[in-house]
Structure formats: structure tokens, C-alpha cells
Amino acid sequence: MKEYVGKTDAALGIYDRSLVFTGKASMPKAFGSDAEVVAYIAKTKGAIGYVSAATASEGVKTLEVK
């Protein structure tokens, strides 16, 4: 995560909570598995998410980040 957004997972969580606390945003959805992320994206118009490259992603558009 850090190489793409410049923050560790923990730092990104802290940033998200600070936005929620100030009323500027709501917490992003969290899922227990990559498969759950793909299923949510497939059924939710406009949704985006990130999963490992090895995850099956049928039914959604993918963008590989290197």
C-alpha cells in the first residue's frame, strides 16, 4: 500500500478516521476477503476497490498497478 498511496495501512486508517471525525467523509467499507470485495464491486455501481493480483475478478473491470 505504501508504495502506491504513500501511507502505511495504519496511517491510511488514521487519515480516514480524521476525515470522519471532522465530518468531511465517511469510513470506507471493509471486507474480510478479496472475494467479498469483488462481489461488492460487481453489484454496486460506481464502486472501486483493490485486491491482490491473484484474485479472480470476473464481472468487474480490472486495472493492474505495478
Q: What is the pTM of this model?
A: 0.71
Measured CA to CA, the distance from residue 62 to residue 49 in angstroms comes to: 10
Cα separation, 40 vs 2, whole angstroms: 24
**Tens digits of per-residue pLDDT, 5-46?**
788 889 988 999 999 999 999 988 999 999 999 999 999 999
Per DSSP, the residues of 15-62 read HHHHHHHTTS--PPP--SSHHHHHHHHHHSTT------TTS--TTS--
The band of 3, judged by pLDDT with boundaries at 50, 70 and 90, is confident
Query: Would you list the domain boundaries of the chain?
Result: 1-30, 31-66
Instruction: Identify the band that residue 58 occupies on the pLDDT scale cut at 50, 70 and 90.
Output: confident
CA–CA gap between residue 10 and residue 28 (Å, rounded) = 14
- Tell me what pLDDT residue 7 has: 87
